[in-house]
Structure 1
Amino acid sequence: MRQPLLVALLAGATTAFGFAPFDLFPVPFATLGVLFALWRRAATSRGAAWLGFTWGIGCFLAGVSWVYVSLHDVGGMVMPLAVAATLAFCAVLAVFPALAGYLYRRVATRLLAIGGAAQTGPRLNAPAAPVYWDILLLAGVWVLTEWLRGWVLTGFPWLAIGYSQTPPSPLAGYAPIIGVFGISLLVAGVSSWLTFAWRKPLAWIAVAAIFIGGQALRGVEWTQPVGEPVTVSLLQGNIPQSLKWVPGNLPLSMNTYAQLAAEHPAQLVVLPETAIPLLFDQIPRDLLRRFAAAGDVLIGSAVRSPDGGYTNGAIALTPELQMQHYSKVHLVPYGEYVPPGFAWFFGLVNIPMSNFRPGPPNQKPLAAAGQRVMPNICYEDLFGEEILAGLPEATLLINLSNTAWFGDSLAQPQHLQIARMRALETGRPMLRATNTGMTAAIDPHGRVIAVLPPFVADALTVSVRGYAGSTPFSRVGNRAAVLLAALACLPALLAGQRRRRMLR
Structure 2
Amino acid sequence: MTPLPAPPATGRPGAPWPLGAELLLMAVAGGLHAFAFAPRDAGWLQLAAVTWLAWRVGLARTPARSAVLGGSFSIAWLAGGTWWLFISLHRYGGLPAWLAVVAIALLCALLSLYLAAAMAAWHRWRPVSPWGGALLFAALWLLAELARGVVFTGFPWVAAGYAHSDSTLAGLAPWLGVYGIGAVSAGLAALAAAALAVAVPSRWALAGAALALWWLPTALPQQHTEPTGTLSVALLQGNVAQDEKFAPERQPEDLVWTLRTMVEARADLVVAPETAIPLLPSQLPEGLWDGLRAAFADGERAALVGLPLGDPQAGYTNSVAGLSREAAAGPGGAYRYDKHHLVPFGEFIPPGFRWFVDLMNMPLGDFNRGPLVAPSFVVQGERVAPNICYEDLFGEELAARFGPGGDAPTVLANVSNIAWFGESVAIDQHLQISRLRALELQRPMIRATNTGATVIIDHRGKVTRWLAPHTRGVLEGTVQGRSGLTPFAWWAGRYGLWPPLVLALAIVAPAVWRGRRTRGGDPARI
Relative to the length of structure 1, the TM-score reads 0.90
Q: Is the 8 A contact 1:396 1:430 kept in 2?
A: yes
Tell me, which stretches of 5 or more residues in structure 2 are unaligned? 1-18, 519-526
Task: Report the Cα distance in structure 2 between the residues aligned to 1:2 and 1:306, rounded to whole angstroms.
Answer: 55
Partner Cα separation in structure 1 for residue 194 and residue 311 of structure 2: 57
Q: Indicate the residue corresponding to 1:474 in structure 2.
A: 489
Q: 1:176 aligns with which of 138, 158, 174?
A: 174
Q: Residue 281 of structure 1: CA displacement? A: 4.2
C-alpha contact 2:236 2:449 (8 A) present in aligned 1? yes
The alpha-carbon distance between structure 1 residues 458 and 39, as it changes in their structure 2 partners (threshold 3 A), is same
Show the counterpart of 2:291: 286
Q: SS state of the match for residue 399, structure 1?
A: strand
Quick check: 1:261–1:290 contact (8 Å CA) kept in 2?
Answer: no
SS in 1 for 2:34: helix
1:343 aligned residue (335, 350, 354): 354
Q: CA deviation at 1:487?
A: 3.9
Q: In 2, distance between residues paired with 1:309 and 1:368?
A: 29
Whole-Å Cα distance in 2 between the matches of residues 157 and 292 of structure 1?
40
Contact map agreement 1:258 1:290 (CA 8 A) in 2: no
Alpha-carbon distance, 1:347 to partner: 2.3
Cα distance in 2 for partners of 1:211, 1:336 equals 40
Mapped to 2, the partners of 1:376 and 1:497 lie a distance apart of 46
CA-CA distance at 1:498 after TM superposition: 11
2:307 to 297, 301, 309: 301
Which secondary structure state, in structure 1, belongs to the residue aligned with residue 413 of structure 2?
strand
1:96 Cα offset (Å): 1.8
One-letter amino acid matched to 1:405: W
Contact 1:452 1:460 in 2 (8 A): yes
- Equivalents in 1 of 2:514, 2:205: separation in Å? 21
- Of 221, 224, 249, 2:223 maps to 221
- Alignment match, 2:398: 387
Q: Would the aligned equivalents of 1:402 and 1:435 in 2 still touch at CA under 8 Å?
A: yes
DSSP-derived class of the 2:250 partner: helix
2:241 counterpart of 1:260? no
Q: How many angstroms apart in 2 are the aligned matches of 1:433 and 1:404?
A: 13
- Tell me the equivalent position of 1:210: 213
State the match for 2:99 in structure 1: 81
Partner of 2:146: 147
Superposed displacement of residue 25, structure 1: 1.6
Q: Is structure 2 residue 504 aligned with structure 1 residue 485? A: yes
Q: CA deviation at 1:282?
A: 3.6
Q: Comparing 248-257 with 306-315, which one deviates more in the overlay?
A: 306-315
Shift of 1:492: 3.6
How far does the alpha carbon of each residue in 1:171-215 deviate from its partner, in whole angstroms, 9 at most, with x for none?
000100000011011100111111113643332332232232222
**How much does 1:135 deviate?**
1.4
1:30 is the counterpart of 2:48? yes
* Paired letter, 2:174: P
Superposition deviation, residue 71 in structure 1: 0.7
Counterpart Cα distance in 1 of 2:294 and 2:472: 21
Q: Give the distance between the partners of 2:500 and 2:35, measured in 1 at CA.
A: 25
Provide, for residues 133-157 of structure 1, a one-character-per-residue CA deviation record: whole Å limited to 9, x for no partner.
1111111111111111001111001
Q: Which moved more, 1:7-16 or 1:254-263?
A: 254-263
1:227-376 to structure 2, matched below 5 A, reads: 227=229, 229-262=230-263, 264-283=265-284, 284=288, 285-290=290-295, 295-304=301-310, 307-319=313-325, 321=328, 322-376=333-387
Return the offset for 1:261: 2.5
- Is the Cα contact below 8 Å between 2:293 and 2:334 reproduced in 1? no
Partner deviation per Cα, 1:24-64 (whole Å, 9 max, x = no partner):
22011111111111211222211111111111111112111
Alpha-carbon deviations, 1:284-317, whole Å to 9, x = none?
2224445778710101111116943011121111
Aligned residues with identical type, % of pairs: 40
The alpha-carbon deviation at position 10 of structure 1 amounts to: 0.6
Q: What amino acid does structure 1 have at the position aligned with 2:98?
A: P
C-alpha displacement of 1:444? 0.9
Moved >6 Å (runs of 4+)? 291-294
| Distance apart, 1:406 and its partner CA | 1.1
SS of the aligned residue for 2:43 comes to coil
CA distance in 1 between partners of 2:231 and 2:276 (Å):
23
Alignment match of 1:40 (pick from 50, 54, 58):
58
* Alpha-carbon distance in structure 2 between the residues aligned to 1:173 and 1:12: 25
SS in 1 for 2:67: helix
Per the alignment, residue 426 of structure 1 pairs with 441
* CA contact 1:261–1:291 (8 Å) conserved in 2: no
Q: Distance in 1 between matches of 2:83 and 2:312?
A: 39
Cα separation, 2, equivalents of 1:281 and 1:388: 34
- The secondary structure found in structure 1 opposite 2:309 is strand
SS at structure 2 position matched to 1:248? coil
Note the C-alpha offset of 1:393: 1.5
CA deviation string 1:339-359 (max 9, x = no partner): 111111222211111110101
The CA deviation string for residues 80-113 of structure 1, in whole angstroms up to 9 with x for no partner, is 11111121122122222112112112223xxx4x
Question: Do 1:182 and 1:480's aligned partners in 2 also have CA atoms closer than 8 Å?
Answer: no
1:106 aligns with 2:113: no
For the residue of structure 2 that corresponds to 1:367, the secondary structure is strand
The structural deviation recorded for 1:264 is 3.3
In the aligned structure 1, how far is the partner of 2:159 from the partner of 2:100?
24
Give matches, 1:193-204, under 5 Å: 193-197=191-195, 199=200, 200=202, 201-204=204-207
2: CA distance between counterparts of 1:330 and 1:258? 27
**What is the match of residue 156 of structure 1?**
155
Deviation at 1:447, TM superposition (A): 0.9
Question: SS at the partner of 1:151?
Answer: helix
Q: What number of residue pairs does the alignment pair up?
A: 477
**Please, what is the CA RMSD of the aligned residues?**
2.1
Q: Confirm or deny: 8 A CA contact 2:389 2:417 kept in the other structure.
A: yes
Measured after TM superposition, the shift of residue 438 of structure 1 is: 0.6
User: Contact 1:179–1:481 (CA<8 Å) still a contact in 2?
Assistant: no
Distance in 1 separating the partners of 2:234 and 2:446: 10
Answer whether contact 1:232 1:463 (CA < 8 A) is retained: yes
What corresponds to 1:414 in structure 2? 429
Q: Are 2:161 and 2:179, in contact at CA under 8 Å, matched by a contact in 1?
A: yes
- Please give the alpha-carbon distance, in whole angstroms, between the structure 1 residues aligned to 2:296 and 2:422: 27
**2:399 partner SS:** helix
- Cα shift at 1:76: 2.2
State the shift of 1:496 in Å. Answer: 3.8
* Distance (Å, rounded) in 2 between the aligned partners of 1:291 and 1:364: 20
Structure 2 CA distance for aligned equivalents of residues 488 and 28 of structure 1? 24
What secondary structure, in the 3-state scheme, does the structure 1 residue paired with 2:303 have?
A: strand
**Equivalent position amino acid for 2:177 in 1:** G
What displacement does 1:488 show?
A: 3.8
Counterpart AA for 1:191: A
Deviation of 1:490 after TM superposition, in Å, equals 5.0
1:6/1:498 CA distance change after superposition, 3 Å: closer
